[in-house]
Amino acid sequence: MKQMKNLNEGFTLAEILITLGIIGVVAALTIPTLIANTNSAKFRSQFKKSFSTLKQAGIMSQAQYGFDYKDAAKNACVAPATDNPENVMTICAIFNGTLKGISYLGKGDTLKTPDGSAYTIKTAPNGGYDPMGEYTIDKYNMYALSDGSLVGISENIGFIDVNGLNLPNQEVSCSDGKVVDTGFKKGNRNVYDGCIVPNKPSNMTDIFPIRFDTDYGSIDRENIAPATNAVEFVLNSAK
C-alpha cells in the first residue's frame, strides 16, 4: 500500500530564518525611501495650503481695509505682534487682521529647534534665493499659522517653513540644482526655467521662499508669489 504523505510537514527553522532575513533586507532598503517620499508629498501639499491661506489674507485685506501686500510691502512692520490694519499699512497688519489662529513668535534668531539648537535656514545646495545673505534670520518676523507652518517676513521678502521648527530647514531646490530668482516677472507665471522638483528628500524640502510685492497685474492683485523657479514649479504642478 502506498504511504500517505505527512500533512504535518512544514518549513524548517533554517528556511524560516532565511525568509525573515530576506524580508528584513527588503524592508531596510524600501522603508526609508517610502518615508522620505511621503514626507516630500506632505511638504508639497502643506506649502500649497499655506500659500493659499496667505493669498486669501491679501484678498481679504484689500476688500476690508483697502490695501494688499504690494501696498503694505512699502512699509516696515511697526509692532509685529499688534500691528492693526485699521491703523497701519504693513504686512504684519494684514496677518494680524485677517488670519485666524496666527501667533507672532518673535524674530527668527530667538527661535529654537526641538533639540534646543538655534533655528537656521540652509539655501538650496548650489545657491538659492538668499537676498539677505545666508538667510540673516534676525531680520525676519516669524509667525506660526494655524496649520502648523511658519512664515517669516522681512519687508517685501519672506518664506514659508511647512515643517515648523523641525528639520531639515532647507530651501526647496530643482533637480538640476539651478535655482533661479523669479524676480518681478510679469505675464506668464508658469516659467520654471527648466526646473523640476522631484519628491526626493534632497529636493522637496521644507523652506519655500516667497515675495509679497511682485506685480503680476490684475490677475493676482493680492501680490504674493513664488520667489524662485523651484517654488513656482511646486505651486503649479499637480504632484
Indicate whether 230 pLDDT > 80.
Answer: yes
Query: Residue 42: inside a domain, yes or no?
Result: yes
- List, as one string, the DSSP characters of 170-203: BB---TTS---B-TT--S-----TT----SSTTT
Pairwise CA distance, residues 80 & 218, whole Å:
28
What pLDDT does 95 receive? Answer: 97
Mean pLDDT check: name the lowest of 41-45, 49-53, 89-93, 104-108.
Answer: 41-45
The residue range of the domain holding 166 is 13-236
CA–CA distances in Å: residue 66 to residues 47, 59, 60, 95 = 27, 10, 9, 14
Q: Which of the four pLDDT bands, split at 50, 70 and 90, describes residue 109?
A: very high
pLDDT the model gives residue 86: 95
Confidence (pLDDT) at 85: 96
**Higher pLDDT, residue 110 or 190:** 110
- Domains of the chain: total: 1
Question: Is the residue at 3 inside a domain?
Answer: no
pLDDT at 9: 62
Is residue 109 included in any domain, yes or no? yes
Distance CA 61, CA 97 (A): 8
SS3 of 142, please? strand
Residue 4 placed within a domain: no
CA distance 158 to 208: 9
Q: Is the pLDDT of residue 34 over 70?
A: no
Question: What is the maximum alpha-carbon separation in the chain?
Answer: 103
| Dist. CA 71–CA 156, nearest whole Å | 10
For the residues 86-101, what does the mean pLDDT come to?
96
In a domain, 6, yes or no: no
Task: Please list the alpha-helical segments (H only) found in the chain.
Answer: 13-65, 69-72, 91-98, 229-236
